[in-house]
Homo-oligomer: A and B are copies of this chain.
Amino acid sequence: MKIALAQINTTVGDLDGNTKKIINQIEQAKKQDANLVVFPELAITGYPPKDLLFKKAFVLENQKRLLEIQNATSDIGVIVGFVNSYFRERASDKIYDMAAVSHFSDMILTNAACLIDNQKILGIYEKIWLPTYDVFDEKRYFEPGKEAKVFGFCNKKIGINICEDLWVSNGPIIQQVKNGADLIIVISASPFFVGKWRIRKELVKKQAVANRVPIIYTNLVCGQDDLIFDGGSFAIDAQGNLIALAKHFAEDLLTIDIDSPMPVKDTEETEEFEVFNALVLGLRDYVNKNGFSKVVLGLSGGIDSALVCALAVEALGKERILAVIMPSPYTSEASIQDAKTLAQNLEIELLNIPITEIYNSYLKTLADPFKGKKLDVTEENIQARIRGNILMALSNKFGYLVLSTGNKSEMAVGYTTLYGDMAGGLAVISDVPKTMVYRLAHYFNQKAGKELIPKNIFIKPPSAELKPNQKDSDDLPPYETLDEILNLYIEENKDREEICKLGYPKDLVVDVIRRVDRNEYKRKQAPLGLKITPKAFGFGRRMPITNKFQ
């Protein structure tokens, strides 16, 4: 039996576009003589559809698209993810009910997979394990499925799993194999973080060997707001060998003969490769799916904006980038020169818009209310906000998307200006720690075989250049140490005592944690940031702002 893994790039809410793509892939799979073509989780709606699921019209439209797909499935089998629903008596378990307060209680939804063969629906499997952690909210929308069904198809007995189902040790696979399943097919939408693809494969190998059954794993590939789905669909035989591997970070239609599988070599790529390509995909999809012709960003002469610029060129091409250098009285000549060299190397358009005159007009206007007060961070923030305003003005005038360039280390400790350098529609590297920023910039130069990002940008000490002789190291611990502590606190969720026990000075740990905690209010208003670590700020980390716990 030949199975095609249809690793497609869906868009949330684009029922027409997703359906068209699915039907097109079914035709392609037929040409490759596939018996069965498998699509990702919720392929019809895109993932995650979030509160669109509270719109009945959306749910019912998604089912109309399933019928279209059914009709297009002649002489081939298809497994496709969709939202199943059934009506029930209103208010069956709610005394008080209001559409907006709870979800509509007269309609139950499940996260489902439909197995279609030659225009007939052979079976529906409904996801049993609904994740409700990190960025996932599936219990907000779905009822869990109840049956670990097995479906006969092409002389095989197939057990379908949907994503999380396979990540638990007591999932449906056990019952399915007991009931005779000789092939497990997983449809998933598994968001990227660095190292995730290896974790996914280890997991599936473990399950295949433990249950003595081959497993086919189809993943989504796309950027959707903060989330990146990295593709890399694959198959593992019952002995734990990798027998198929689709592309990472790109669409693919990979056909495998499950009856005569051949081991394939796993990719060996660096973390830098992974993260760089993930960011490129996330950036490209956000810009294109939201209909922007170009992006605009500020170049400071520093490493963060240089990396974002490089990512944008990679994602969109040099013609779609407008870079702006906005020198203030505290901007060094070296920074201006570094930014210019970078723009030349990348062959992108560069505007030079000095902010000194605007800055002076603020100082003059505020002289009276600020009388008797010393210069402080206020004046630094004014500079950052003028730059934010200029980028937004260019965005308003020309319709370009503003990319913000802050990294995760800064965002964590609040070393960043709300409405200033935080302004923008997409925070490209807000989940990338500073130390990883350098690694990605090196990777970019290495890939190009030349120093597109000028050497000087790597070696000069990081500075916000918002007052004379300012350096990040005046206010922050060295980034190597800071990033280690941040990783322990945010991603590994360790507390103060646990981190101190690892050998970090208590004062430093206390200070870093205090900074992270008290900057929730800033991050509340941050733009969407692309998630590349197990725990990003944003939707997957829901901290109260009013919070006295220390």
Contact = CB atoms under 8 A, between A and B. Distances in A.
A123 interface: no
Given A13-B544, A548-B17, A168 B95 contact: yes
A322 to B, nearest CB: 9
Nearest to A375: B397
Name the residue among A206, A492, A543 with the largest chain B CB count within 10 angstroms. Answer: A543
Contact of A418 (B98, B360, B392): B392
A178 to B, nearest CB: 18
A502 interface: no
A57 interface: yes
Contacts of A392: 381, 385, 418-419
A545 B103 contact: no
A359 B151 CA distance: 69
B548 A92 contact: no
A503 interface: no
Contact of A357 (B364, B376, B521): B364
B168 A57 contact: no
A534 B389 contact: no
A390 B365 contact: yes
A81 interface: no
Interface residues of A, number: 113
Contacts of A544: 12-13, 48-50, 52, 224-225
Contacts of A134: 100-102
Copies of this chain present? 2
Interface string A76-100: 0000000000000001111110111
A527 interface: yes
A425 interface: yes
Contacts of A91: 169
A397 B419 contact: no
A52 B365 contact: no
A495 B385 contact: no
B167 A95 contact: yes
Contacts of A495: 55-57
Interface in A422-451: 423, 425
A366 B382 contact: no
B370 A397 contact: yes
Nearest to A490: B100
A471 interface: no
A149 to B, nearest CB: 21
Contacts of A423: 418-419
B92 A169 contact: yes
Contacts of A168: 93-95
A547 B132 contact: no
A64 interface: no
A425 B418 CA distance: 10
A521 B358 contact: no
Given A91-B169, A366-B393, 6 more contacts: A15-B549, A52-B549, A140-B542, A357-B364, A376-B397, A392-B419
18 contacts: A11-B548, A12-B546, A12-B548, A50-B543, A50-B544, A93-B170, A94-B167, A95-B206, A96-B167, A96-B199, A96-B203, A99-B493, A140-B542, A366-B390, A369-B397, A370-B397, A381-B396, A389-B419
Interface of A: 11-15, 17, 48-52, 54-58, 61, 91-96, 98-104, 131-134, 137, 139-140, 167-170, 193, 199, 202-203, 206-207, 224-225, 285-286, 289-290, 351, 353-355, 357-358, 360-362, 364-366, 369-370, 373, 376-378, 381-382, 385-386, 388-390, 392-394, 396-397, 418-419, 423, 425, 490-497, 521, 524-528, 534-535, 539, 541-549
